[in-house]
Amino acid sequence: MSAVVGTQARRGRAEEVRRLLPQPLLVAVIVVLLVVVLAPVVYMVLASVNSDLGVASGEIWPRELNLDNYLKVWSTVELGRGLANSVIICGAVAVVCSFVSVSMAYVLVRFAFRGRVTILRGLLGLQSIPGTLMLLPVFVLFASASTLLGIPTIGTRWAVFVTYLTFALPFSTWVMVTYVRGLPRELEEAARIDGASSWRVLTRIIVPLSWPGIVVSAIFAFLLGWNDVLFASVMTNQDTRTAAVALQVFGATQETGALPLYGQMMAASLICAVPVVVLYLVFQRYLVGGLTAGGVK
């Protein structure tokens, strides 16, 4: 029954789109969007299997396939270490941020206390602060902490983890606040009648029902660290640099060369994009539900 209802709903949405745009115009718009999105990706794929001289001369279609770029890049760019650091740091940020944000959202939505509205407004206001303005204060803060505590901070993975977690938590918490508001209170009240504590309500009811929102928060936190170059280039060293910084360093070293290694640069970029694409494909169903949650009251 639910499958039939879902099919009818999809057909209804498709008919609404056709009424808004004529069929030929709709096809033309879709083709243009696909070309705009896929053209750079196709060029990167072709350039990654082409010779450096062919890319430099403007060839789009390679004369012969050169798959050596995907093998050489692991030693030239030190991509393996960068990917490992990115996965460790960003994965930890995603897991911690998602579960901390759902806990904070549960407290902010379900409990009334002084300063609650101020915290919610602060979470929203923090999104307007550009990250570039926080680079110097964050660096000075960690450098001062290293001097006071006598432990290394700059150049360590945990310093980058704390930095990314700080910037990811406000948005993730706001997403979870919107999601938790849409959850039915009757389930929590029934659990309270059965003697469940607040912790049990959170772990047994709120978290299982909030998986779409949790996935959105986790993916946002993961991408924030995965795509970052500014903070990672300052807070890491050669052993702890992320994949994005490794690509930046590799690209900078090619500027002074006679013939840049275009093929390896494109191959490294595609390899770094694979985890993000896989992440979206695996959690696409949760992303749609999490991003649209709270849109209808």
Which structural domains are found in the chain, ordered by start?
2-70 (no CATH), 73-292 (1.10.3720.10)
Please tell me the predicted confidence (pLDDT) of residue 95: 92
pLDDT of residue 1 exceeding 50: no
Residue 94, pLDDT score: 92
Produce one character per residue of 234-244: b if its CB has 16 or more CB atoms within 10 Å, e if not: bbbeeebbbbb
pLDDT digits (tens, 9 = 90+) for 214-255: 888 888 899 888 988 888 888 888 888 888 888 888 877 776
pLDDT in tens, 38-51: 888 888 888 888 88
**Does the pTM of the predicted model rise above 0.85?**
no
Provide the pLDDT for residue 199. Answer: 87
pLDDT at residue number 88:
93
pLDDT at residue 117 above 70?
yes
The dihedrals phi and psi of 196, each to the nearest 5 degrees, come to -75, 140
Structure tokens at 2: 């639910």
Q: How far is CA 138 from the centre of its chain?
A: 21
The answer on pLDDT for 29 being more than 60 is yes
Q: Three-class SS of residue 133?
A: helix
Quickly state the pLDDT bin for 195 (edges 50, 70, 90).
confident
Cβ–Cβ < 8 Å for 86, 221: no
What is the rounded distance in angstroms from the CA atom of residue 93 to the CA atom of residue 83? 15
Please report the pLDDT score of residue 297 as a whole number.
42
Average of pLDDT values for 272-280? 86
Residue 197 pLDDT > 70: yes
Which tokens go with 249? Answer: 């360093």
Mean pLDDT of 252-259: 69
Is the pLDDT reported for residue 159 higher than 60? yes
Q: Calculate mean pLDDT across residues 94-122.
A: 87
Residue 92: how many other CB atoms lie within 10 Å = 19
> In sequence order, what DSSP letters do the residues of 208-227 get, joined into one string?
HHTHHHHHHHHHHHHHHHHS
Q: In this structure, what token pair is assigned to residue 82?
A: 């960068």
pLDDT of residue 290 exceeding 60, the answer is no
pLDDT of residue 258: 67
**What is the structure's pLDDT at 7?**
56
pLDDT tens digits, residue range 200-215? 888 888 888 888 888 8
What pLDDT does 2 receive?
Answer: 43
Instruction: Average the pLDDT over 260-273 and give the result.
Output: 86
Contact status, residue 226 vs residue 276, Cβ threshold 8 Å:
yes
Q: For the residues 113-136, what does the mean pLDDT come to?
A: 82
